[in-house]
Amino acid sequence: PAAASCHTDDANFTAVSRRNAGSSPIEKGITLPAYDAAANDAPAYDTKTYIRALVVSCPHAGRLYPADFVATSALDLAALRDLEDYAVDWLIEGMLAHNITAITNHVGRAFLDVNRPADALDKIMFANRIDAAEPSRQVKAGYGLLPRLNAARMPIHNAPLSADEARRRLAMVHAPYHQMLSATLDTALAQHGHYLLLDIHSMPQTDRLGQPLADFVLGDCFGTTIDAALGHKISSFITDHGFSVAWNKPYAGGHITRAYGRINS
């Protein structure tokens, strides 16, 4: 799939979408296959009134880049894209046929990472004093709420940012993503008494030492976000189909997994 530079004041611009069976993708400049609920034997429930217990979150596959961001970036569009979980949103298309609801961020991760807390800001990126949490390992490495570096560790911005710019990006992408995800999970919880959130990512085939990684890496933040018996059922299902599985290595889950995974409730 190709990336696109977009104008955020365009009436057709959509940063975040919620989709399920029979819904059409909302993504400017990119055409995805649409599923016909009837043809796939999927019940055509309205997501506003019915949510399955399984909800999918796709935070990092976005490939829309605000034009003003691209114009002032130190990198070209191709270099900005290396932070994407490339085409992961295409992998979840089949789930929609089963009326599983997917919350998808369509804006490139280089612009803002919705899998970070709203205060995970890197103070060295700003021209003036800004309120921020104690820097996490990710922030120190250059991959906070507003990434400082791309995957090749090249600086993204030409100049320091303003606090207003951080607030603008939060309002444009972060707030709507988490509001939509939270509301969807609340509905699932009300209707089923529980929910299972699948926050989907991708990674290279090998680790930094060139050693092969498992086909599927399941992250439960080291046993804190999913019931162990249910986790075992999921991993067994995958291995029964001939794939390898690893837990929490090299990725145990980020902000979304921690914030919405509640093993005790």
Classify strands 54-58 and 245-247 as parallel, antiparallel or unpaired.
Answer: unpaired
Ramachandran angles phi, psi of 191, nearest 5°: -85, -30
Kindly state the tokens that stand for 116. 């970070």
Ramachandran angles phi, psi of 173, nearest 5°: -125, -55
CA dihedral (12, 188, 259, 232) in degrees, to 10, reads: -120
According to the model, what pLDDT value does residue 48 have? 57
Kindly state the tokens that stand for 67. 């034009």
3-state class (DSSP) for residue 185: helix
* C-alpha torsion sign, points 27, 22, 256, 207: negative
Which parts of the chain sit beneath pLDDT 70? 21-49
According to the model, what pLDDT value does residue 32 have? 32
CA neighbor of 27 nearest in space, from 61, 80, 64, 70: 64
According to the model, what pLDDT value does residue 40 have? 38
According to the model, what pLDDT value does residue 21 have? 64
